[in-house]
Every structure is written in structure tokens, then in C-alpha cells.
Homo-oligomer: A and B are copies of this chain.
């Protein structure tokens, strides 16, 4: 008889408490459950200790569904629990600030969904607090962990595109096109999706120093308190590159198009979240070549080796899984979060750019990021 009990997993267990149980709660629960075995033997075990949310029945069900050992309707139960290492805030934007700050003050490592806060002052305060407390901190700009985006970043960082001349970023969805649809309250296109475009711009090209922006509000309705805006901005990078950053949720046909094109002296790249495995690459040097379809699913590509063989494409959720693998590794090795992950510093910088875009749209003036926050 060869049957034996499996040895237990001796890796360190990172104990997580989470605020939020909706779409993001599902994505994060999935990531926390999956990262430990996909990134084996590195990373860590995860203990899903406590999930928190406003509606007791819902949070209770989420706890059972995803395997959280406890649930609560009061996030302070997580902050106050000395057995919890990481506070993961994936609740609505409006509750990013207070609970996360409390968690920092309680000495927990903190993870927070984007935007770090829709309010610049709060975002800056969270960054300051996390940095001073010496805890590990991460803002969930999950698209940095899509292999095609990571490959693009690595190519640019290695100089394979040469000097960047222009860079255009756009996040377009159709989700709020219908003025009669019953949709949740929101904080505007910049907060909901535009901040991802801002972060991609910063991650791939570098710091933005000036913006000029227009925000229009073409869709309104009696049913909804808030108008639906479209954001269009010029971005000037400190390297001298120029480009655009745009966000809209009223682009019919665009299901989830976070797309960009980056042109440099040695080549160009394009990418689109709707086909997130595909990086389109052009390298100068021959008249023959155009853009090449690179399916970023080879073992030699970044972030792919833990997954499947060649051409077995990944989905949207893999960004979150890969991101958590990075954070867990940083926790158990006492290593650095970032620069591949966005920290609270990145979250605050994105908030500054967003604030500058809002101010420019309001004033009609070209606005310096240096003067913000």
C-alpha cells in the first residue's frame, strides 16, 4: 500500500483580511486562493482570515463561498485582529481612506484597489502614512501584471524602443451609454477607469509633468444624479514625449478597451485589454517588417512560466493573481513591493495626475503636475 497523506505546506502563511465582497472581492478571493499553488514553490500560503462588508447576509455568503474563516460587517474587526498581516481594501472608492489608514496605523501591510482615493488629499495622506509606518503597500493597478504589458515595460526599459516620441492611452467602455440604465453611483470616468490609463502611461513611459484636458458630460438623465463624463487630456512627459490620455464609459462597442500605442525612435508597440495576450511589436531596421502579433504566452515571456504551455492564453483575472504573487513574495521575503507593482506612491502620483486633469478641464488651462498636492 503506497497511499500516504500529503505533507503539509511548510511555506509561511500570510494572513489576510479583506474589505469588500463584490466584483473585486471575487477577483481578489480568487487571486489569493490561486497564487499560492500557481507560483509554487515560491510565494506563500495564504490564510483567508476575515472578510468584511456592509450587508451581513452577503458578506456571510461570500465567506462561505470563498473560504474566508470569519466575516464581519465592521472592518475594524480586521484592523484590530493581531493575527492578520495584510489588510486588503477592495471596497467602494469612498471607503478606501479611513479603513486603510486605520490598518496602516495598526501596523498592517496594506493593499488597496484603485483609485487609492478619489480625493487627492486622502491619497497623499495614505501614501505618507504607509511610507512612514514602514509597512508594505500596493495600489491595485493590476494591468501592470498582464504579461504583454510587462513585456512592453521591459522592452522599453531595456531601450528597445529607443527614445519615446509619442504615447497615447485610452480606456473606453460602453457601460454607461444607456441613460436609462440603472447603474451604481460612481465617481467619474477618471476614477473608475481613467486612472488605469494614467498608471499605464506612468509605468510604461514615465512621469507626466503637464496636462491639458477637456471633460464633457454628454449623457445625463433624470434617473441618475451624476452626469456621465468623457475625459480627454494631452499629456506631456518629463522626457519630452507627448501624448494623450482618455477615458470614457460611453463608447458603444468598446466592451473593455484599455489600449495604447507607444512610438519610439527604434520601434513601436500597441496593446489592447480586449485581447490582452497580444502585444503588437514593430522594430525598425527593415522595410519589410510591419507590426508583429506577439502572443505573450511563451515560457520565456515575463509572468508566463507559472502558467500554461505556449499559446494557452490567459484571462483578465490573471493580472490580479500575478499581482498578489508579487505582494505575497514581498511580504514573506521582506522584499520590496514594486517597481513592477504600483505602491501607494504610485497611487498618489496617479491621483495627482487625475487632479491636474480635472483642474485643467475646469480652468481651460495647461496645468503642471508639480503644483498639485
Chain A residues within CB distance 8 Å of chain B: 1-9, 23, 27, 29-30, 33-34, 37-38, 40-41, 50-51, 56, 60-61, 63-74, 77, 81, 163, 165-166, 168, 170, 172-175, 177, 212-214, 216, 218-219, 230, 232-234, 236, 240-244, 246, 248, 250-257, 261, 263-268, 273-276, 278, 281-284, 287-295, 297-301, 308-318, 364-366
Contact = CB atoms under 8 A, between A and B. Distances in A.
Contacts of A267: 252-253
A166 B65 contact: no
Give 3 nearest A-B pairs by CB, closest first. Answer: A256-B311, A255-B311, A253-B282
Nearest to A265: B177
Nearest to A250: B165
B232 A244 contact: yes
Contacts of A244: 168, 232, 234, 244, 246
A278 B33 CA distance: 28
Given A250-B263, A256-B309, A288-B301, 8 more contacts: A3-B77, A7-B60, A30-B38, A177-B265, A218-B241, A234-B234, A255-B310, A315-B315
Contacts of A66: 37
Given A240-B218, A241-B216, A293-B292, A254 B232 contact: no
B295 A292 contact: no
